[in-house]
């Protein structure tokens, strides 16, 4: 007899596992099919985020940042150290330990909430029928009242740089180097390129990032991107803009193998030789083998599963969430979509507010933002005020030796409603939550300026930037607010 469930979720990454836990919490009989295996070929939950993305990269970013601090900043703080050395195998082992704890945690949450975890591949057929193929087994048919598709995304590979053992790697391979490459090339100066380039640059690699676009980080606020480029270059990241990689070639043999990279820039064709090359040119939705011909789910022109604002596909009772649907490929966006769909199936009416999805780049300083950038507002012809406050004028930042960065609050010139907040500096990833909450409640810059913030904290910078948008920050000589546009 066909096993039946109220809900089957395909994919156990952040979007899928949030959906599965929430449907189970709401009393629905839930199964989650997940095909991911860990390095020992054991089934593992948590998707790219926990296993090969957000979490392991943060473990290495934090470790490598502490290494830099111990080398360069401790003396200034009055702490003498002996010779500081990086122990890369220990860093990798620690990172793997962190990942293990978190993925085990998801498995425990499934068990505690009564979610049936099925290890293998899921395939959607018409009428909410789902084929489940266990690893190395035969396909079995399951049925459900509702299906939630959350298969995630995979790195884009480009013909000029096919992956090659541990020489030309994607973001996954770049988290597994067992020693520090002397010369490291990175294709793409986007989020992944900057984060992984930072890790290995801090540990000692001569790091060159080749970025096809002429502009650096156009998705962030222009003023912040400009300062960030200067700071990253000062840290030793050699970021070459307008540099499009056109070919790669493996040279040498055995341990002497290197990668010759050809790229085009304004001056013509250039070549560089690296010991390792990371390809970080974006991610694409993963839909291979997901849909049987009668599934009834359509793709959009870019290969994403087509959904409406509420994540419903064209097939009745079938939803899709996370990286596989439109919108930014961010774990937290997928998590909220998963929860929204679970609650909608239960008859509740939540929505995801796509206007307040925060973005973070975990470099040092961190870069984080929510809402519109100054350049977007100018293009839209909006009239606005900008309040900017430097970390260098914040007491807590100075006490902590974190004086690089700024906070920018952009507010509508007429209504004063906050339209965007952009932070570059220590703890930007944490500070941005204050902006998200403010915008979620349609706060004005004045509202933020009227709220009391603990002293001394980095958060006071948010307060001061909001005051500055209205022309009266306290710890800065203000210019009269002047509406732009």
- Indicate which residues carry an active-site annotation: 455
Pick the piece of the chain touching ligand NAD (CB under 6 A) from 78-86, 101-109, 360-368, 385-393: 360-368
Report the nearest approach of ligand NAD to the CB of residue 479 (Å): 33
Pick the piece of the chain touching ligand NAD (CB under 6 A) from 143-151, 275-283, 369-377, 389-397: 275-283
- The residue count for binding ligand NAD (CB under 6 A) is 25
Quick one: 127 or 327, whose CB is closer to ligand NAD? 327
Quick one: 342 or 368, whose CB is closer to ligand NAD? 368
Strand partners, 368: 360, 423
Find where tokens 């004086």 sit.
403
Q: How far apart are CA 463 and CA 431, in angstroms?
A: 11
Q: How far apart are CA 80 and CA 50, in angstroms?
A: 36
Report the nearest approach of ligand NAD to the CB of residue 196 (Å): 9
Q: Could you say whether residue 245 binds ligand NAD (CB under 6 A)? A: yes
Report the nearest approach of ligand NAD to the CB of residue 328 (Å): 6
Provide DSSP, 252-273: SSGGG-EEEEEEEETTEEEEEE
Report the nearest approach of ligand NAD to the CB of residue 329 (Å): 4
Report the nearest approach of ligand NAD to the CB of residue 280 (Å): 4
Quick one: 197 or 387, whose CB is closer to ligand NAD? 197
Quick one: 155 or 387, whose CB is closer to ligand NAD? 155
Q: Could you say whether residue 283 binds ligand NAD (CB under 6 A)? A: yes
Quick one: 276 or 396, whose CB is closer to ligand NAD? 276
Pick the piece of the chain touching ligand NAD (CB under 6 A) from 36-44, 117-125, 281-289, 336-344: 281-289
Whether the CB-CB separation of 11 and 151 falls below 8 Å is answered with: yes
Token code pair at residue 279: 């390809």
Query: What sign has the CA pseudo-torsion 254, 174, 201, 236?
Result: positive
Q: Could you say whether residue 322 binds ligand NAD (CB under 6 A)? A: no
Strand partners, 26: none
Indicate the DSSP class of residue 464.
H
Of 236, 282, 327, 456, the one binding ligand NAD (CB under 6 A) is 282
H or E segment at 88? helix 88-113
The footprint of ligand NAD on residues 425-454 (CB under 6 A) is none
Whether the CB-CB separation of 15 and 321 falls below 8 Å is answered with: yes
Of 91, 210, 370, 418, the one binding ligand NAD (CB under 6 A) is 210
Q: How far apart are CA 172 and CA 60, in angstroms?
A: 13
Whether the CB-CB separation of 93 and 178 falls below 8 Å is answered with: no
Of 16, 193, 420, 425, the one binding ligand NAD (CB under 6 A) is 193
What is the pattern of x (binds ligand NAD, CB under 6 A) and - over residues 325-354? Answer: ---xxx------------------------
Of 64, 211, 287, 405, the one binding ligand NAD (CB under 6 A) is 211
Pick the piece of the chain touching ligand NAD (CB under 6 A) from 86-94, 98-106, 190-198, 341-349: 190-198
Q: How far apart are CA 208 and CA 189, in angstroms?
A: 10
CA-nearest of 257, 259, 264 to 274 is 259
Q: Could you say whether residue 362 binds ligand NAD (CB under 6 A)? A: yes
Report the nearest approach of ligand NAD to the CB of residue 471 (Å): 34
Report the nearest approach of ligand NAD to the CB of residue 27 (Å): 33
Token code pair at residue 329: 């490929």
| Segments in 266-418 forming alpha helices (H) | 331-345, 374-379, 395-399
Backbone angles phi, psi at 362, to 5 degrees: -90, 45
Token code pair at residue 384: 């606005």
Q: Could you say whether residue 278 binds ligand NAD (CB under 6 A)? A: no
Report the nearest approach of ligand NAD to the CB of residue 54 (Å): 6
Pairing of strands 318-320, 238-240: unpaired
Q: How many CB atoms lie within 10 A of CB 280?
A: 25
The footprint of ligand NAD on residues 6-65 (CB under 6 A) is none
E strand residue ranges, 150-217: 153-155, 168-169, 183-187, 206-210
Q: Could you say whether residue 132 binds ligand NAD (CB under 6 A)? A: no
What residue ranges bind ligand NAD (CB under 6 A)? 158, 187-193, 195, 210-213, 244-245, 280-283, 328-330, 360-362
């Amino acid at each position: 007899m066909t096993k039946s469930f109220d809900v089957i979720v395909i994919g156990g990454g952040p979007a899928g596992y949030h959906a599965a836990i929430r449907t189970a919490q709401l009393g629905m009989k839930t199964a989650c099919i997940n095909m991911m295996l860990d390095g020992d070929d054991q089934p593992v939950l948590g998707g790219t985020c926990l296993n090969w993305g957000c979490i392991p990269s943060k473990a290495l970013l934090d470790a490598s940042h502490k290494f830099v601090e111990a080398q360069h900043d401790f003396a200034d703080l009055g702490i003498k150290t002996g010779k500081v050395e990086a122990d890369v195998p220990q860093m990798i082992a620690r990172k793997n330990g962190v990942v293990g704890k978190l993925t085990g945690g998801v498995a425990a949450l499934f068990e505690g909430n009564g979610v049936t975890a099925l290890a293998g591949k899921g395939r959607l057929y018409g009428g909410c029928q789902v084929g489940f193929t266990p690893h190395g087994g035969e396909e079995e048919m399951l049925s459900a009242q509702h299906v939630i598709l959350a298969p995630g995304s995979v790195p884009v590979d480009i013909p000029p740089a096919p992956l090659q053992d541990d020489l030309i790697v994607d973001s996954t391979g770049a988290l597994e180097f067992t020693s520090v490459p002397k010369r490291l090339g990175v294709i793409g100066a986007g989020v992944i390129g900057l984060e992984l380039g930072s890790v290995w640059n801090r540990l000692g690699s001569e790091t060159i990032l080749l970025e096809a676009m002429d502009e650096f980080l156009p998705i962030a606020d222009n003023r912040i991107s400009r300062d960030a480029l200067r700071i990253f270059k000062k840290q030793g990241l050699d970021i070459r803009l307008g540099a499009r990689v056109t070919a790669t070639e493996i040279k040498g043999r055995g341990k002497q193998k290197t990668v010759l990279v050809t790229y085009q820039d304004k001056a013509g064709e250039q070549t560089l030789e690296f010991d390792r090359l990371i390809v970080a040119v974006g991610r694409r939705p993963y839909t291979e083998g997901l849909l049987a011909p009668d599934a009834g789910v359509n793709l959009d022109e870019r290969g994403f599963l087509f959904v409406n604002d509420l994540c419903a596909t064209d097939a009745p009772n079938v939803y899709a969430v996370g990286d596989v649907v439109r919108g930014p490929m961010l774990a937290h966006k997928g998590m909220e979509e998963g929860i929204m769909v679970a609650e909608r199936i239960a008859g509740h009416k939540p929505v995801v507010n796509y206007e307040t999805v925060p973005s973070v780049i975990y470099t040092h300083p961190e870069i984080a933002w929510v809402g519109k950038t100054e350049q977007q507002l100018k293009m839209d012809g909006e009239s606005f005020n900008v309040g900017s406050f430097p970390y260098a004028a914040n007491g807590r930042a100075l006490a902590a030796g974190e004086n690089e960065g700024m906070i920018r609050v952009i507010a509508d010139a007429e209504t004063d409603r906050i339209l965007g907040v952009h932070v570059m500096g220590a703890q930007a990833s944490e500070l941005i939550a204050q902006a998200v909450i403010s915008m979620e409640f349609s706060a004005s810059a004045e509202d933020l300026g009227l709220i009391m913030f603990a002293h001394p904290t980095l958060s006071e910078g948010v307060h001061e930037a909001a005051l500055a948008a209205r022309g009266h920050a306290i710890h800065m000589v203000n210019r009269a607010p002047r509406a732009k546009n």
